[in-house]
Amino acid sequence: MAKDIAALVGLLDPDAVMAVASFDLADDGRVARIRVVRTPEKLRPWPRDG
């Protein structure tokens, strides 16, 4: 069972998010599941903070 989640945001340029990946980590620290979103409509609400 995954208990922790880490994330990675891929930027096309400083103002454009290209992809978001989240990683579910198992109790032993190994990656249990990877989820990636690359749909532009779903990423549009992601403004970049400074």
Quick check: is 49 in a domain?
A: no
* pLDDT, tens digit (0-9, with 9 covering 90-100), for 21-45: 988 888 888 888 999 988 877 777 6
Q: Is the pLDDT of residue 48 over 60?
A: no
Residue 32 within a domain: yes
How confident is the prediction for the chain on average, in pLDDT?
78
Beta pairing class for 16-25 and 4-13: antiparallel
User: Would 25 be classed as within a structural domain?
Assistant: yes
Residue 10 lies in a domain: yes
Q: What pLDDT score does 34 carry? A: 92
CB of 35 closer than 8 Å to CB of 26: no
48 in a structural domain: no
Query: Which is more confident, 46 or 32?
Result: 32
Q: Which own/partner contact pairs does 42-47 have at CB distance under 8 Å and 24+ positions apart?
A: 43/17, 43/18, 43/19, 46/9, 46/17, 46/20
Structural domain of residue 36, as residue ranges?
Answer: 4-43
| pTM (predicted TM-score) | 0.64
Number of domains forming the structure of the chain: 1
Examine residue 26 and state whether it is found in any structural domain, yes or no: yes
